[in-house]
Structures are given as structure tokens and as C-alpha cells.
């Protein structure tokens, strides 16, 4: 089965939010969203959006399944794909958490413009 994961994060008034959606081969989507405890930045919020999505999709994936990850954060996508270095310790920790979740999986990370990530963007802006 092929899975798609769209994620986003946002930051307002000292609070980080995340959201996203997952789809397998069927057109049915599973959405998720939440608030990040403690202080967050926009980049931390983006990483949380990815991590929470991975925590939902990885357990249901079989060995031969593939995952395409879509996000409008060029920083997160490029650090995840190891095209950019990740120098800040707090972001390294989040990236490493993603890499651990993705271990032994077939995946690809793709940057998309914000307008193509509208649903995840909306989910990351709704206060729970």
C-alpha cells in the first residue's frame, strides 16, 4: 500500500499548533491536530506536525508499504532528506525522532508550496 502524509505547524501568541492528514490507497483521509506543550517555535511546530503524523501512520504500515511525506516547511523537508544540515540541538532531537520512526521504511520527503498544503495548514491553525 502507498501512504501519503501531509503535515503543517503554526505558532501564535507563544503557543505551537500542528495538524495534518494521512491517506492510504483509498480516498479516505485521517486527520490529526494538536497543541504543543510548553514553548515552541514555528519550526518546532512543523516538526511536531510531522512526528504526530508518523506516529499515526507507521504502526499501520506493512513492510512493503511506501510513504510519501509532503510539507511546506523547506527546512523540515530538507533536514529530513539530509540535504541540509541540522545544527540546532532542539531541532536535531526532533529530526532524529523522525528518522527513528522512519527506520527500515521506504519513504520520500517532498516540499510543496503552501497553497498545495491547505488542508494541513487549516488543521494546524484550529485551536483545540
Beta bridge partners of 31: 21
pTM as predicted: 0.94
Provide the 3-class DSSP secondary structure of residue 66. strand
Residue reference for cell 541540522? 86
Contact 21, 123 (CB under 8 A): yes
Query: What is the architecture of the domain spanning 2-125?
Result: 2-Layer Sandwich (3.30)
Backbone angles phi, psi at 127, to 5 degrees: -80, 130
For residue 22, the cross-strand partners are 5, 30
Q: 10-66: per-residue pLDDT in tens?
A: 998 889 999 999 999 877 789 999 999 887 899 999 999 999 999 999 999 998 999
73-106 pLDDT per residue, tens: 999 999 999 999 999 999 999 999 999 999 999 9
Domains of the chain: which residue ranges? 2-125
Amino acid at each position: 500500500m502507498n501512504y501519503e502524509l501531509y503535515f503543517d505547524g503554526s505558532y501564535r501568541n507563544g503557543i505551537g499548533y500542528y495538524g495534518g492528514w494521512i491517506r492510504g490507497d483509498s480516498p479516505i483521509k485521517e486527520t490529526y491536530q494538536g497543541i504543543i506543550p510548553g514553548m515552541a517555535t514555528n519550526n518546532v511546530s512543523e516538526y511536531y506536525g510531522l512526528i504526530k503524523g508518523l506516529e499515526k501512520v507507521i504502526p499501520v504500515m506493512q513492510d512493503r508499504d511506501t510513504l510519501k511525506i509532503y510539507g511546506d516547511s523547506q527546512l523540515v523537508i530538507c533536514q529530513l532528506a539530509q540535504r541540509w544540515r541540522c545544527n540546532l540541538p532542539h531541532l536535531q532531537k526532533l529530526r532524529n525522532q523522525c528518522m527513528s520512526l522512519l527506520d527500515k521504511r521506504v519513504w520520500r520527503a517532498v516540499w510543496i508550496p503552501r497553497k498545495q498544503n491547505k488542508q494541513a495548514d487549516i488543521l494546524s491553525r484550529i485551536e483545540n
